[in-house]
Amino acid sequence: MGGIFGIVSQDDCAKTLFYGTDYHSHLGTEHGGMAILGGKGFYKTVHNISQAQFKSRFIEDYQEMEGHSGIGAIDDETPQPLIFRSRFGVYAVAAVGLIRNKNQLVSALLNEGANFGERAGGDINNAEIVSYLINRGNNIVEGIASMRGAIEGSICALILTEEGIYAARDKFGRFPLAIGVSRNSEAKSYVVATEASSFENLGYDLIRFMGPGEIVLLTPESVKTVKPEGTEKKICSFLWIYTGYPSSIYEGISVERTRERCGIYLAKRDNVEADLVSGVPDSGVGHAIGYAMGSGIPYRRALVKYTPGYGRSYTPPTQEIRDLVAKMKLCAVHEVINGNRIIICDDSIVRGTQLKNLTIKKLWDNGAKEIHVRPACPPLMFPCIYAASTRTTGELAGRKAIRDLEGKEIENPAEYLDTNSAKHARMIDWIRRDLNVTSLKYLSIEDMIAAIGLPAEQLCLHCWIGK
Ligand code: SF4
């Protein structure tokens, strides 16, 4: 989904910008970049990070940078930030999310006389589209608001200007933006970021989360709301289940504590007898710890991740690379697995192929006696339509099951979504057989919502219910 980080400071901010942006590395594996504003004006550096992590790609760049305000981005969609000279002056833009109506928007803007740089493959950089739309406003704030109005999908943006950083959360607050203040009383400074967990080690305290659609102007002296939040919020539920970092917090709700609660709910609804519970690293671990807390079955590490050097396996662009990363990064602990009945918690089942061919196979190969899989959310039935998604409808495990059971594609899987229906039970059993496990039980959507703790109407649940 991508992540952004911004800082305004009375001191030089290059080092904080570098580490703050790096703390978003779990949100993308393709592009990274920073833009800074200092005595020599605007400067930016952008690299492809698919073959090397952000820190190693930028370590030399940041030591050359100086300035009092800056923005950074990690993204799979777009190399950014970009710098523009406009009628509002020079500014830099970092924008993450998805422009679903990109083709229509670009055609309309080209007809208006816009020019866009063309990327390899004919694509156009999202930051360019965002900038062009902003420049159509009477002033920069109006421009940001009307940019978000024109975009279908979801865009969170940081605009680095001479007067400060404009931070704009997407219309429905689908993705988070948090604001922090420096603990250093000698040099005032504010930060804004997708991940509030980036603040702690940088010496900042979380002040608040921005509201849906809110626009603020950050300067070293103050944070001023220049457009108030909207009334409707639909924050992504998957942030707590999978995407977010365990130490992070959204809308005041901790990711790790939510995962523990998911595990506790899974355990509460379960009656399986097992010797140990384990999580698929990293995002399945919090859920598994919760399961252990709720069941009294000991948590043990059947699988560990080879941490020096492997990122997440959902972000690489091709299935082949995703599978390779997933295979290499997970190591089985034979002495824990051998001869045991294992409950294995994961955040979700997307296609099921990695879980089946890598995780489950490793457990069987190492002598597991029984394998009971417990995903911490219901079957995923729809791809994300608000951020770049590598999953398509047809490849989701639930959809494959339905296709096989029905002998054809079913456009509306409503009957299969009803957890009390015979069709739902047949779909789950098909996935269980396909995974080759002893039992399979998903967390219900009601329990997932309860574990997060926000009212259902404030959550985006599209992945599971398609609306
Ligand atoms: Fe999150 Fe799914 Fe909604 Fe996308 S569609 S914002 S991943 S809940």
C-beta 384 within 6 A of ligand 1: yes
The per-residue pLDDT for 312 is: 52
168 Cα–ligand 1 center, Å: 19
**CATH fold group of domain 239-465:** Rossmann fold (3.40.50)
CA of 38 to the centre of ligand 1 (A): 37
**Alpha-carbon Rg for the chain in angstroms:** 23
Task: Give pTM, 2 decimals.
Answer: 0.93
Mutate to test the pocket of ligand 1, among 76, 386, 449 (most ligand atoms within 8 A of CB): 386
Gap from CA of 208 to ligand 1 centroid (Å): 23
Question: So what's the pLDDT on residue 70?
Answer: 98
Ligand 1 and 463: CB distance under 6 A: yes
Question: Ligand 1: distance of its center to the CA of 459 in Å?
Answer: 9
Cβ–ligand 1 distance for 126 under 6 Å, the answer: no
Looking at residue 346, the DSSP 8-state letter turns out to be: E
Q: Is 373 in the pocket of ligand 1 (CB under 6 A)?
A: no
3-233 shares its CATH topology with 239-465 = no
- Torsion-angle region of residue 187: left (phi > 0), alpha (psi -120 to 50) or beta? beta
pLDDT for residue 174: 96
pLDDT digit of tens for each residue in the chain (467 aa)?
899 999 999 999 999 999 999 999 999 989 999 999 999 999 999 999 988 889 999 999 999 999 999 999 999 989 999 999 999 999 999 999 999 999 999 999 999 998 888 777 778 999 999 999 999 999 999 999 999 999 998 999 999 999 999 999 999 999 999 999 999 888 899 999 999 999 999 999 999 999 999 999 999 999 999 999 999 999 999 999 999 999 999 999 999 999 999 999 999 999 999 999 999 998 999 999 999 999 999 999 999 988 655 555 555 567 777 777 777 888 999 999 999 999 999 999 999 988 998 899 999 999 999 999 999 999 999 999 998 776 788 899 999 999 999 999 888 899 999 999 999 999 999 999 999 999 999 999 999 999 999 999 999 999 999 98
pLDDT at 387: 85
Q: What is the pLDDT, as a whole number, of residue 390? A: 66
- Which pLDDT value is given to residue 294? 98
Is the C-beta atom of 174 inside 6 A of ligand 1? yes
Angle at 308 between CA 368 and CA 46, to 5 degrees: 130
Into which CATH architecture does domain 3-233 fall?
A: 4-Layer Sandwich (3.60)
* Spatial contact of 378 and 448, defined as CB atoms under 8 Å apart: yes
Domain extent listing, the chain: 3-233, 239-465
